[in-house]
Structures are given as C-alpha cells and as structure tokens.
Structure 1
Amino acid sequence: FGDLDKGPYSVPLHDDRLSYANNTYCAFIRQIPSDQAFYLCIHMIIVIFLCPTIVLLSILIYLCNPILETKLFLATLVGVIASCCAVYYAVPQLYHYLFSRRGSPIIFNRKTGKVYVNESYFFNFKFLHHPSVFLQPKKRRIKEYDWDDLHGVIIHNMSRNALSSTVLMVCQPGTHQVIDHIMLDPMRAGAGSTFVWGWINSFMVHYKSANIDDGEY
C-alpha cells in the first residue's frame, strides 16, 4: 500500500481507458472488454463446475457413516465447505462481469468538482454479502462524490508480474476517515500504474499536461 500525492503531474497519457474528454469532464472505463469477457468465462466455468460438485459431495456425506468412515466423512465435509466458499465468492464476480455496462465508467467533472460512479454493486473488495443481494444480479451502485474528498492509494501485487492497482479512498468531508472506496485503475504493470491518477489530477486543475486528446478513442 502507498499514498499517492494529489496535485498536477507532468506526465502524458495514451490510454484506451480514457473513453472521452472535453473541457468540462472526462470519462475513464475500468474494464477492457477483452478482460471482462475472459474473467466472465472463468467465473462461469467455476460456478458450473462447483454446483454439481457440492450436490454430489453432499450426497456422499449423507451416505457415509461418520463413525466407520471418519476420514472419508471429514474429507468430504471439508470439500463441501471449500466448494461453498468458492461459489459464494464466484457468484458475485459472475454477476459483476456479466452485468457491467460499458466498462464501468467513472466520470470526473472539473467544472463542478464532482466525480460520478456507475458500476455493478459487486465491483468492490467485499467478500461478505447480505444473502438478499444474490437475488439481485443487476444491482448497481450509482454514487456522486466531491473530488476534494477522494485520495489515491496504490496497492502493489508482490507477484512476479509486479502488478499494481490504484484505488480512490472516499473520506468523510474535512477528515481522513475512510467511508468508501472506488477502484480506479485495476491491475497495471510497472510505472504505468500511476499515469491515470496523475493525468486525472492534472485534468481537474486545468494543468497543461492533461491534454484532452490523449485518449485512444
């Protein structure tokens, strides 16, 4: 984790995630269509494979004698619990990738100082969800924030690929108490991980490095 400074950056941007920009606002998408399709297929396969697995293991538990076949019973029970946890995680991800619209855009308006988010309810870091939301696959989160209340944080992935993500922390006005978070730029390699954050900062204060023609749209 690391805090990102707020203010103008002298960095260029040539990125297909900048979907639109004019003198008033800019819009970034946070999901590239190819990535969205790939992860949709992955989570769909997980759900399709694990649901019958849970049923079969549950039947095996029912038929198993826990006294005479203790090891088999415990192994099957662990398998059911692990499979249920995996499905519990995969279903919200499936909803997210299946029903996300137009790359889950985030809009920055420098004239009003507002930031607008329109995304799937499941586009977040939460693991625990209220059971009722599983019956609302198209549930959305539409929010409006003040730019002054947003602070950038970079999250480093210590894997061999060295990927980083930029997250916007939403603070209570006038304080540093975090009340919400927004994924801004997921899974970026190397130094490019902060280019979007730097360009947005420059755009919001009309700094010259934020050229509205920098997008690849």
Structure 2
Amino acid sequence: MPSQYQPQIFGWISDLDKGGNYLTGADDRLLYANDNYCAFIRKTKSDQIFYVCLSGVISIGLMFIIPILIYLLTWIESASMLILPLVIIILFFITLYLMLPEFYQNLFTRRGSPIIFNRKTGKVYINESYFFNFKVLRNPLTFLHPNKKRIKEYDWAHLQGVVVHNFSRYSLNTTILMVCKPHSHKTIDHILLDPLRAGIGSYLVWGWVNNFM
C-alpha cells in the first residue's frame, strides 16, 4: 500500500501513531532534557567522521580527476567522440557539487544538528547547518563561510512520524518527521529524526519523544 503523503515517500513502510503508550527509555541520542524541553542529536560523532572522510576523499579525488579529463578533451579530434567524456565530466561536476556541502556540513556541524522538542509551547525546533549561499554571486567570500545556521520551527501537532527503509540487505530503518500543509497530505518538509536503526530500534526515539510531549 502506498503512503498517503504527496509526493510519495521513497522507502515508506508505515506511519507511526502518536500517544504516550510507548515503553521506551531515554536513548543515547538524547542530548538534554528537563521539565520543559528535550534535545536529540541527529548525527553521532562516528557518523560525522565517516561522512567527512568519505565526502572528503571523493571531493579531493574529483578535484584532481576533472582537470585531467578536461585536458584530455583537447586531444580528441572527432566531435562524435566528445559526447561520452563530456557526459562523464558533467556527472563528476554534479558529484563534486553534492560532496562539498556534505563534507563541510559534517565537518562544521555542532552538537549533532539537534532537534528540540518543547512540550510547554508544543513547538519543535530543527537546527541545521548549510553550505551554499546564493549571495556567492555578489560576494565570493560568502562561499568560504560554510558554518551557516538556520532554525526551523514547527508545531508538534502538525508533525507525523514515518518509518522508511534503505533497501539494504541489513534492513535498516529510519524515522523521519513529515510536515504537511494544514488539512492535507501535501508534504512541505521532512526532518530526519532517527537514522538507520535495525528493526524495533527505529522506534526508540519516536516512543520517548511521544511520552515526553
């Protein structure tokens, strides 16, 4: 059965029920909690180190490979032989465009990009780092300021938990929060709550937050 959200969620398994009926304890992703609010990290140190290394190696490799490929293009005389190398170079540029933000985001992310649940106000705050800044066209120096922060704010009542899987042989599940337009299932945002858990482990953070809220 497909999900009720539009557009469809890739890897959707099921929607999660809200309510304080989950028997779960505080998780190792719990950063802080008091009577009013709690904060969960969404990126562990091990995840950040892994993705920094992976994206860093790929980015550095592409920075060397792309100029070499461009240089080799000058040796091609036939126009028909240019198509495949040009496609490869374009794909490499796209990969580099994706890997650089991933590298900087994991390198400069503080406290695991926490998500904060405030039960007193019923609000949820999502802390995010981002890399690209459209002002780069006016001031190139902003391109060198990767540690930008933004905080998204949503009502807990407007968020719905969803479990998706990653189609790997390890059957790892991920819990995300869907944000929809009021009185509809049209998705306007989705937030990573708890990444890559095996089986029932994917419900731990969702259950604890429900009991807390």
Unaligned regions of 5+ residues in structure 1, if any?
123-128, 205-217
Q: Hey, what does 1:55 align to over in structure 2?
A: 67
1:178-189 equivalence runs, <5 A: 178-189=187-198
**1:6 is the counterpart of 2:15:** no
The alpha carbon displacement at 1:146 in A equals 0.8
Check whether the contact 2:39–2:116 (CA below 8 A) recurs between aligned residues: yes
Q: Could you list the per-position Cα deviations for residues 98-131 of structure 1 after superposition, in whole angstroms to 9, with x for gaps in the alignment? A: 1211111111011111111111136xxxxxx886
Where relative contact order (Cα < 8 A, 6+ residues apart) is larger, the structure is 1
1:201-216 equivalence runs, <5 A: 201-204=210-213
CA–CA separation in structure 2 for the residues paired with 1:121 and 1:174:
30
The alpha carbon displacement at 1:61 in A equals 0.8
**1:25 is the counterpart of 2:34:** no
Aligned partner (choices 96, 102, 106) of residue 105 of structure 2:
96
Aligned partner (choices 119, 134, 152) of residue 161 of structure 2:
152
One-letter amino acid of the structure 2 residue matched with residue 167 of structure 1: I
- Tell me the matched-pair count: 195
Q: Hey, what does 2:27 align to over in structure 1?
A: 15
**1:167 is the counterpart of 2:176:** yes
Check whether the contact 1:60–1:76 (CA below 8 A) recurs between aligned residues: no
Check whether the contact 2:26–2:208 (CA below 8 A) recurs between aligned residues: no
CA–CA separation in structure 1 for the residues paired with 2:78 and 2:117:
59
Check whether the contact 1:108–1:115 (CA below 8 A) recurs between aligned residues: yes
TM-score, structure 1 normalization: 0.82
One-letter amino acid of the structure 2 residue matched with residue 91 of structure 1: L
3-state SS of 1:55 partner? helix
1:128-143 equivalence runs, <5 A: 135=143, 136-143=145-152
Q: Hey, what does 2:78 align to over in structure 1?
A: 66
One-letter amino acid of the structure 2 residue matched with residue 58 of structure 1: I
Q: Hey, what does 2:50 align to over in structure 1?
A: 38
The alpha carbon displacement at 1:56 in A equals 0.6
The alpha carbon displacement at 1:3 in A equals 1.3
User: Runs in 1 of length 4+ with deviation above 4 angstroms?
Assistant: 129-134
Check whether the contact 2:27–2:204 (CA below 8 A) recurs between aligned residues: no
CA–CA separation in structure 2 for the residues paired with 1:162 and 1:101:
29
Structure 1 vs Structure 2 CA RMSD: 2.0
TM-score, structure 2 normalization: 0.83
When structure 1 is superposed on structure 2, of 20-29 and 138-147 the one drifting more is 138-147
One-letter amino acid of the structure 1 residue matched with residue 188 of structure 2: I
CA–CA separation in structure 2 for the residues paired with 1:39 and 1:186:
14
